[in-house]
Amino acid sequence: MAFGIVAACILLLIVLLTWGKMNAFLAFLLVSIVGGIWLGLPLPAIPGALQKGIGDTVGGLLPILALGAMLGKLVAESGAAKQIAQSLMGVVGPKYVQWALLAAGFIIGIPLFYGVGFVLMVPLIFSVIYRYKLPAVATGLPALAALSVTHGFLPPHPSPVALVQQFGADMGTTLLYGLVVAVPAILVAGPLFALFLKRIPAGKSTMFRAPENDDMPLPGKVPSFLTALLPVLLLMAGAVTLHTWPALPWLQFAADPSVVMLVCVLTACLTLGRMQGKDMATVMRICGEAVKDIAPVLLVIAGAGALKQVLAQTGVSNQIAEAMQTWPVPPLVLGWMMAAIIRACVGSATIAGLTAAGMVAPLVQAGLADTNLMVLSVGAGSLMFSHVNDAGFWMFREYFSLSIKSTLLSWSVMETLVGVAGMAGILLLQLIL
């Protein structure tokens, strides 16, 4: 009975988001209230459950996500992203330009939100395509696959960070595991899959064009690469050193993700701001605009936290966890499947991941799955089955001027390959660990 009610709530959420076109935050709150009433939570207790769920979920994420948005905005606005892409293409030459674009997509994708990275990369992709007369889809898709993997697997992106919080995982360890899983997933869904896409015709669209300023001097290669990769370097270093010297208070402080991201943003303000001739007011304006960009994502995460708390406070999460333990499906695969199904229905990878996390969190709390691997498995599932209800699907179609059929055969298959290859890598990593 409890599982049926929760399934009905998830179905209601999907209907409100797809058919009803409702704002995600409002839909989560409405479903949380309906679910609380249906599951027998006393009416006076429901507002408190919503507030606790929102506070517990957003409280630890706000500094990391806001600082991550600031870092990404500084990398984009300063021209560091363009410098990274041009430098990589200059090193490898036209023969291996596809690999340069892939590497650029991966590096740029670490600090930048998915939509920003997409809009920045596509004009660069087309400039290379027309310069060297290359097939558009086969050349550009690997770079976008790299962007997708960073979005689903790697902190400090919103969905992985929120999943780390929900499952009680370690940010640095998740990042280390994520990098191990991400590289083969990108290779399978990128260059390997691109071998089959050379005959797909594509045009050039002016829609979503990123503003270009060729007169703007670009930052140097060292500050561009170092600033973009700094979160990865510091989080990885923190994870390794904490395993070596876990009891040192100053090390625990320095390795905290919020402190790491603050250091990264302050570094970016210096290397990509003041050292590039920008005054402090301009740098702070860029940071302020980044906070506005992250607000919709924070609201989605907050709404998912409210639903999670209602499920936990009614006790239904534990009932579902006990029932799931008898299913002949490993917990990691279960989390991946739930996220994939919701993603196919809703379209949003973030909503899919967070909604699935609320379902499988009790399994993690019961010690039935590694917390860090569960973050990655849910993240991999949330990337599956991108089709006509996903904004990324339409951006790719419009940019490359493709038919619906060609977009399904290229973009949708690529996203599915990322999810499947990612899950295979996670299961292999589980065997090794």
Q: Would you mind telling me the total number of residues written for the chain in this entry?
A: 433
* pLDDT at residue 209, rounded to an integer: 42
- The domain locations on the chain are 2-432
| E strands present in 212-299 | none
* pLDDT at residue 67, rounded to an integer: 87
Find out whether 65 and 170 touch, Cβ atoms under 8 Å.
no
| CA-wise closest residue to 139 among 151, 127, 148, 150 | 127
What sign does the CA torsion over 284, 285, 288, 294 have?
negative
Render 269-315 in DSSP notation, one character per residue.
Answer: HHHTTGGGT--HHHHHHHHHHHHHHHHHHHHHHHHHHHHHHHHHHTT
Please enumerate in sequence order all residues whose Cβ is within 8 A of that of 351, keeping only pairs 6 or more positions apart, or say none: 17, 24, 300, 304, 342
| CA-wise closest residue to 145 among 422, 424, 415, 426 | 415
Render 56-92 in DSSP notation, one character per residue.
Answer: HHHHHHHHHHHHHHHHHHHHHHTTHHHHHHHHHHHHH
End-to-end Cα spacing for the chain:
37
* pLDDT at residue 206, rounded to an integer: 45
**Neighbouring C-beta atoms of residue 366, cutoff 10 Å:** 14
Find out whether 183 and 103 touch, Cβ atoms under 8 Å.
no
Q: Which DSSP symbol is given to 188?
A: I
Find out whether 288 and 271 touch, Cβ atoms under 8 Å.
no
Listed in sequence order, the DSSP H helices in 110-216 are 114-132, 136-153, 158-167, 171-187, 193-194
* pLDDT at residue 197, rounded to an integer: 87
**In angstroms, rounded to a whole number, what is the distance separating the alpha carbons of residues 400 and 149?**
20
Q: What tens-digit pLDDT sequence spans the chain (433 residues)?
A: 666 787 788 788 888 887 888 888 898 899 999 989 988 889 999 999 999 988 887 877 788 878 888 888 888 888 888 888 788 877 877 778 888 888 888 888 887 777 777 877 777 787 778 777 888 888 889 889 998 998 888 887 888 888 998 898 988 889 999 999 999 999 999 899 998 988 887 765 444 344 455 566 888 889 988 888 888 788 778 777 877 777 678 877 887 888 888 999 999 999 999 988 899 999 999 998 888 877 887 888 788 788 878 877 887 766 666 666 677 888 899 999 988 988 887 777 888 888 888 878 888 888 888 999 999 999 999 999 888 777 788 878 877 888 888 988 999 999 999 999 999 999 999 998 8
* pLDDT at residue 208, rounded to an integer: 36
| CA-wise closest residue to 186 among 122, 117, 99 | 99
| CA-wise closest residue to 336 among 415, 424, 431, 406 | 424
| CA-wise closest residue to 412 among 400, 430, 426, 394 | 394
Q: Please write down the HEC assignment for all residues of 331-369.
A: HHHHHHHHHHHHHHHHCCHHHHHHHHHHHHHHHHHCCCC
